[in-house]
Structure 1
């Protein structure tokens, strides 16, 4: 296959159910795409950066699927599942890109299922679980607002593959953010009980925010410095919290690189035990 740019290759099969991003049965998500790392771009840094973004999406996707059968309405069961699938799709692209860029040849399955907890590079917000629906909405609102701002800037990445992945992700993340924002307003500006639940979700989530804007060296070499999206993040959250009559919590937690360097909460290991159990039990299986 021949394309003028990576986005055409990624989106070419939008109406073809055999393409993984829109169906199943597609072995290599980057098949047909030129994955040569552009001259002047550090291949190791690019691979590490794609791994970070891919791990964010993979772990958050798993947390969202835990809410299947637990959302307040059937319509939200579908919405949350679809958001999780969007992020799983992003994870596949990004992990595949990481494997191509670092020269190891590892595919997305190898990276998702056969790394240990310290090898994961996701932010700790993505691994946070439990709580009630207000906790879920708070985490999704913060995560999607932050990730959307980053992805919007990655559309102009020097790596055309990452730029194409970002362009597709922006459309998905805009919906994720709007979905979470609508629920935050609905709960926050609702009954006394729903307001308390939503405020409680924000209060529990806020200590994980500082890490989102801590700059890792890899991000400055191959991606977007997250500190640069802080103003946009604050502006969006201010609008949502105002409409929801919610109070912005004060404690943001440690503004330090943690998950990006493999320093995780105790919640990640049990999550990976579940996520990786089948693949590790049958490492040679073909699905």
Structure 2
């Protein structure tokens, strides 16, 4: 999707013939910046993600992130409003206009606030959020892709605790056949650059010379069950504890797929009157 962009005045931009006003900076990373902007016509707030493309490879990676957003249309996956590539001063930037979810922020920020208060998340809320995460992952996996870098900061929550998976820049094919030590090292190096070390699945640390890396990297407990830390610090039902234990398996071949995990979450919701909730 081609978009046009021009700087109309200080603090305002035009993307695809629509004007947006700069409000404030939201976040800053190694290769990207996120600004809060307001639509001149609709008055809505959006998150404008600017990705620095240092070379042709960087531009292609940004293009892949755009294409990943365009691949999915699911309530638990962040959609793309518009995008463009900007070339200025010999440098290229990818600009992604995304919905702004200001109600609660990321799952990480919610868990941090609970920790600061010495409080815990109700099991009903845990299951609701986990169900939404699994629903988004299921859609990704069914279309043949894996997120590869799922973590609490990449899960946004709205006012109804609907989780939305974001930051699709590390996504790639769900199943990758590794044939030889050279391919194994290439994937291992890629994972070291694109998959956060504290949430990376074990099979991505030491990739075997002949194996298949599949979508179960997203099931690894530190990623798919991003509520793990909260669950282990407090007393929850035996069913929830057993579910988390079942996906905390280092061997990916013994790890369940997303359909099984989602079925278990739904079963836990239906079995306990205290944890019933509406579908995310």
Shorter-chain TM-score above 0.5: no
What is the TM-score when the length of structure 1 is the normalising length? Answer: 0.25
Higher strand residue share: 2
What is the TM-score when the length of structure 2 is the normalising length? Answer: 0.25
Larger Rg: 2
Higher helix residue share: 1
Structure with bigger RCO (C-alpha 8 Å, 6+ apart): 1
